[in-house]
Every structure is written in structure tokens, then in C-alpha cells.
Amino acid sequence: MAVKLTSDSKILIVGGSSGMGLSLAKQSLDAGAKVIIVGRQTEKLNHAWEVLGQSARLSTMNIDATQETDVARLFEEVGPLDHIVTTAADIRGAYELLPDLDISAALRAVESKVLAPILLAKYGAPKLRPGGSITFTSGIAAYRPSTRGTVVAAVNAALEGLVRALAVELAPLRVNAVSPGWVNTPIWTFVAGDRKAETLDAMASRLPAGRIGQAEDIADAITFLMGNGFTTGTVLHVDGGHRLI
């Protein structure tokens, strides 16, 4: 049975100040829900608050989800929740050939995509109301790894194992992940630099869907995972058919 977002719904979005998380925040606010967006950069949080119309149902918190003390404080302050979502990822410097890989960049990726989700589940699960859910964000790299993509493939695959384990341990709370394909979000600035548009256009011509994903596509998928009470331990692929090519 689908659970619709209402004015009583309360959603925490880590990484909600840009890209897919920001789009999800907008969709959730439009549905009447209360939204808390969490991030590390005050400037980006303030910009998101303005972009989202300075809604009275929106609040922001400056938190580093890779730090246990920050995460513990976050859940002490937010109160009961219905859904926890994270779209955050720090892959700066992680797309490199192995001889050029800076291990500190690899560690940042692991912290943001594996450690942070563990901390969010550890401290967030007790705050979730009955019927609540946790949704993480994986990615196509776990299925279609590319040259220079070793670290990103590894952390996404690890995250999906975490989803299955938490779905068992935290039941009946639901734990899922959405796995985006190539989506036009600011993260591509770090991946492709000045070749972002060229790179995305080339992939669009190959995909069965005939286009690159948009942040709204992923937000739609996360909304489904939050609302479908019979879906848990699942990775929902929203990749334009990328796994088929």
C-alpha cells in the first residue's frame, strides 16, 4: 500500500542543498511535507532555502554526516521523522587511474558513501515512526565501471550490500537505494570539467531512453521508495537503460 506524503510527513534529506536532493526537497514541499535539508556548506544551504521559496515547512542544518558526533547531534535535535534520504557524495579526486589516485580522495568517497549511511542508520532509525524508511543513493558505476572509476564502483557496490543488510536488521523499517545513471547534476563538474556538456551528450546518444537523466527523475524514484510500503532491501535503477548497453 502506498503511503502518500502529507502535511504530517517529515523528511530529512542529507545533500538536499543541490542536485537530486534539492529536487526531492522541492517535490516533498510541493506535496505538503515538512523538510529538513542537511549539508556541510552554510552558503549552499542558504541558497537552497531561497531557491525553495523560504518555505515555513523547510529548515536547514549544517552537519557533516561523516562525523559521528555531528550525526548524533542532528538526530537529537530533529525529533521524530518519517523518512531519511541521503544523496550526498564526495567524489572529488576519486576519478583517477590507480597510479594517480590520491588515497585521501578514496577515503572521502568511502566516508561519504558508506560510513555516512551507516551513521545515519545507526542514529536515525530510532527516530523513524512506524512505516518509516531510509533511502540511500548508489549509482551506475557499480554495474558499468569505467576506466578511472575503480573507487566509485567500489563504494556504490558496498552501499548496495549495506542496503540489504540494514533492511533485515532494521525491519520493519524499510531500507532501499536508488541507483541513478548519468544525471545532469553539478557533480559532473568534478567528473568531466569543461567537457561536461560534450560528455553528457555523447552518452545521451547511446542510451535506450535517448537522453540524460534529470534531477527530477531521481526525485520521482525516491518518492516512490518512500511511499511504497512493500518495497525494502531493493535497489531501484533509474538509468535510462544504461545497464543494457
59 is catalytic: no
DSSP letter for 112, please.
I
User: In the numeric block, which cell numbers belong to residue 116?
Assistant: 555516512
Q: Which of 18, 112, 138, 179 is catalytic?
A: 138
176, 150 in Cβ contact below 8 A? no
Crossing angle of helices 19-30 and 42-51, in 10° steps, is 40
Residue with cell 542558504: 46
* Intra-chain end-to-end CA distance of the chain, in Å: 34
Distance CA 119, CA 64 (A): 11
Going by C-beta distance under 8 Å and a sequence separation of 6 or more, which residues neighbour residue 71?
A: 63, 65, 116, 119, 120, 122, 123, 124
- Which residues have a catalytic role annotated? 138
